[in-house]
């Protein structure tokens, strides 16, 4: 095993025992990037010099002998929609191609305070809009296991970087599956925490009522350790929950006897790839063998979930992306007047998928259509939530497939946005 292949907790343990140094670990990760990323294209921006400087500082702290934080000296990648002071942040969009943030996102501050080493910024679907990492304004990312296939999205670059050992762990964002689906496509662990558990301050917004930061790691223990570092109340984010952060890693006992597992029948319908169903059913059987109680449940409003997502998310995106007008920051087109500046800047700066979602959201919010679309979608969203509330009265956990198919081929679905 090379140093770049270590999990977060394995690397942390070796650093504590002084078996390796953070500089050695960081150099191993950058060597792995040099060896593989010309094919995978997981990264948009690398921060080698700053990373090695942080690694040196981490080694100095490790020499002091005090009990270090689990992230101290660990190379971590960030999806390129996290604001990073002094490090370009593009959101994989031409409209922010040269944007240099004046401050760090709260989650970035937290991992830096814990001693993590930031390797760089990873590719994504532009403004986190997509499920394949093909909607980046710069280039698509490829799946490390099969370069002809997508890594998932929108956090496709982060997932590919973790799977290819181009970082030890990564942070992504999830609105409607953007951590979980690429994690599944790349065979890693992805977690979307409960909304409000992690601060959104300094994350470039897509759909504010759904966006959430989460860990993308090589195993479950790593996700627990990374979530411990980033979770918690943030005065800068009024939606963050004022709750104590548990020691998630200490809860990983492996004991699941008596755990009530709900299997929603609506999730196993026609259209699912047979291999996906076979794998999930196999996992259910394995959990049952270890003492979990399996029970079929119903989530009757499931069929409306995607439609609700596409109305609510695009409406919020239309509002959030109005700030990119060529005036305050980002791309500004040469034009003869103010209106033309707005129009040309946005036309040149946004890609096709982002334009589609802005137009759909603007339509859903427009006079005469707000009640029929946006308000109706919010009401159905409440019904979907009630389905889950009722299900959790009967079971502890709901187990579902992450996506109905495995990773599809690059270009296979670009002609049909739906």
Please identify every residue annotated as catalytic: 79, 154, 178
Helix, coil or strand: residue 216: strand
Nearest to 38 by CA among 153, 186, 160, 188: 160
Distance separating alpha carbons of residues 78 and 338, to the nearest angstrom: 35
Structure-block tokens of residue 4: 């770049």
Nearest to 407 by CA among 91, 223, 147, 42: 147
Neighbours of 3 (CB within 10 A): 21
Cβ proximity of 346 and 326 under 8 Å: yes
Please give the angle made by the CA atoms of 26, 30 and 34, to the nearest 5 degrees. 170
**Using N-to-C axis directions, what is the helix angle for 22-40 and 8-16, rounded to 10°?**
150
Helix, coil or strand: residue 293: strand
Nearest to 325 by CA among 312, 336, 339: 339
Type and span of the H or E element at 221: helix 220-230
Distance separating alpha carbons of residues 379 and 113, to the nearest angstrom: 41
Neighbours of 278 (CB within 10 A): 11
Question: Per the omega criterion (within 30 degrees of 0), is the bond before 154 cis?
Answer: yes
Please give the angle made by the CA atoms of 141, 142 and 143, to the nearest 5 degrees. 130
Q: How many helices (H) and strands (E) does the chain have?
A: 12, 9
């Amino acid at each position: 095993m090379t140093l770049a292949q270590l999990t977060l907790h394995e690397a942390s343990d070796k650093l504590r025992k002084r078996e390796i140094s953070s500089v050695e670990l960081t150099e191993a990760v950058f060597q792995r990037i040099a060896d593989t990323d010309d094919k995978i294209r997981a990264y948009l921006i690398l921060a080698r010099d700053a990373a090695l400087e942080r690694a040196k500082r981490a080694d100095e702290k490790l020499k002091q002998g005090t009990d270090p934080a689990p992230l101290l000296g660990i190379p971590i990648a960030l999806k390129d929609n996290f604001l990073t002071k002094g490090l370009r942040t593009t959101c994989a969009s031409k409209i922010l191609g040269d944007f240099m943030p004046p401050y760090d996102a709260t989650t970035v501050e937290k991992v830096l305070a814990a001693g993590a080493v930031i390797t760089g910024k990873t590719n994504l679907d532009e403004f986190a809009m997509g499920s394949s990492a093909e909607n980046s304004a710069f280039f698509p990312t490829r799946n490390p296991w099969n370069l002809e296939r997508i890594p998932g999205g929108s956090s496709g670059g982060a997932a590919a970087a973790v799977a290819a050992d181009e970082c030890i762990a990564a942070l992504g964002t999830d609105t409607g599956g953007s951590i979980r689906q690429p994690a599944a496509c790349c065979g890693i662990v992805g977690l979307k925490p409960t909304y409000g558990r992690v601060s959104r301050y300094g994350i470039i917004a897509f759909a504010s009522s759904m966006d959430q930061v989460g860990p993308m790691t090589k195993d479950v223990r790593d996700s627990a350790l990374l979530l411990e570092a980033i979770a918690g109340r943030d005065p800068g984010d009024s939606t963050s929950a004022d709750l104590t952060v548990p020691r998630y890693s200490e809860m990983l006992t492996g004991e699941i006897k008596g755990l009530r597992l709900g299997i929603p029948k609506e999730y196993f319908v026609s259209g699912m790839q047979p291999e996906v169903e076979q794998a999930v059913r196999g996992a259910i059987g394995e959990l049952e063998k270890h003492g979990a109680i399996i029970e079929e449940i119903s989530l009757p409003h499931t069929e409306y979930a995607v439609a609700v997502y596409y109305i609510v998310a695009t409406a919020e995106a239309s509002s959030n992306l109005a700030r990119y007008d060529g005036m305050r920051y980002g791309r500004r087109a040469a034009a003869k007047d103010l209106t033309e500046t707005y129009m040309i800047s946005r036309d040149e700066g946004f890609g096709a998928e982002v334009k589609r979602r802005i137009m759909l959201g603007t339509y859903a919010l427009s006079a005469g259509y707000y009640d029929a679309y946006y308000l109706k979608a919010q009401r159905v969203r409440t019904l979907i939530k009630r389905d889950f509330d009722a299900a959790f009265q009967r079971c502890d956990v709901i187990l579902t497939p992450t996506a109905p198919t495995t990773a599809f081929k690059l270009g296979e679905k670009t002609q049909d946005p739906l």
